[in-house]
Amino acid sequence: MSIDPRVALQTLVTALEEHLAASASRRREDDPAVEAAYLAIADAFEVYEEVLYDAYGEVTPLEIYEESDDDDESDDESDESDDERISSGERATP
């Protein structure tokens, strides 16, 4: 990707602002505008994370939460491996 990380960051910030606006004006629990804004954040974040890594070899400490049927089991395993990495001083990679 040849997107400037600053442009990707601004796109992410805009997506967050749009999500806030959609959330504030939500009309019902399953408002499609909120869902669309939520997905836009995830998409913008993935692009930002990728271009940040490509440009500077850097990552953020954030992850996109994805629901799955076995979340309870995988979260426990993931938390343990993350704790081990953090205690050993390693950084997570995308």
pTM for the whole structure: 0.69
Quick one: pLDDT at residue 75?
52
Residue 92 within a domain = no
Residue 94 within a domain = no
Residue 37 within a domain = yes
What is d(CA 48, CA 4) in angstroms, rounded to the nearest whole number?
Answer: 9
Residue 93 within a domain = no
Number of domains in the chain: 1
Name the percent of the chain lying above pLDDT 70: 71
Interval 70-82: pLDDT, tens: 655 555 555 555 5
Quick one: pLDDT at residue 49?
97
C-alpha distance from residue 61 to each of 33, 40, 64, 81 (Å): 27, 19, 11, 15
Residue 50 within a domain = yes
What is d(CA 62, CA 14) in angstroms, rounded to the nearest whole number?
Answer: 18
Interval 14-50: pLDDT, tens: 999 999 999 999 999 999 999 999 999 999 999 999 9
Mean pLDDT along residues 88-94: 52
For residue 47, what are the domain limits? 5-87
